[in-house]
Amino acid sequence: MQSDALTVYVVEDDAAVRDSLALMLGISGYRTVLFADAEAFLEAWREEWAGCVIADLKLPGASGLDLQAEARRRGSRLPFIIITAHGDVPAARAAFRADAVDFLEKPFDHAVLRTAIETAFSQEERRLRREAEAGRLKLLTAREREVLEYAAKGLHAKEIARTLGISTRTVEVHKTRLMAKLGVRNVAELVRFALAGDVAPPESK
């Protein structure tokens, strides 16, 4: 199982299915929150939620696909897994076009569902990591950002100093501060962080 910070949000109107999913997921070590319909989920939804949504295709009121679309409209990045008792190729296509992780027909193998959840959680962990990195990048001063951008391009301290018109010693001081703010241990990690954070060199902006 992945991070404890991630939750499986189950949106299912059939109480028996909902309880069965909650039991199975709980035994597997997942934290779950249950909803009987799309409206209840949307009313409770918070921007900081992380994990994935398992939504039945046929819900009273808004459908699972409607919920997926409305969640996206509101800014939710939660991955969706759509489940249904009725095989529906157009609905499956619509779900995947909206970036659903999977579309599962009931009754489905629990191992298949767990695999879909793990795929969704992996997506979420990458998203959360990118957001954390972006947050740390905001801590940088304009000069530190410049040094990071040139480091990402592969320039050494002397080259960066010459380009920016500052001393090599000053560049090294900026690098030290950068590493502390970004939580990296060496220049190689600093460059990887810059590339992962999509920090573009000044010339390509």
Domain 139-204 top-level CATH class: mainly alpha
pLDDT cut 90: percent of the chain above it: 59
**Spatial distance between the Cα atoms of 56 and 9, rounded to a whole number of angstroms:** 11
Give mean pLDDT, residues 176-184. 86
User: Would you kindly state where each structural domain of the chain is located, as residue ranges?
Assistant: 7-132, 139-204
CATH fit for domain 7-132, picks 3.90.79.10, 3.90.1150.10, 3.40.50.2300, 3.40.50.720: 3.40.50.2300
The string of pLDDT tens digits covering residues 36-76 is 999 999 999 999 999 999 999 999 999 999 999 999 999 99
Q: How far is CA 179 from CA 35, 67, 111, 141, 145, in A?
A: 43, 42, 42, 13, 12
pTM over 0.95: no
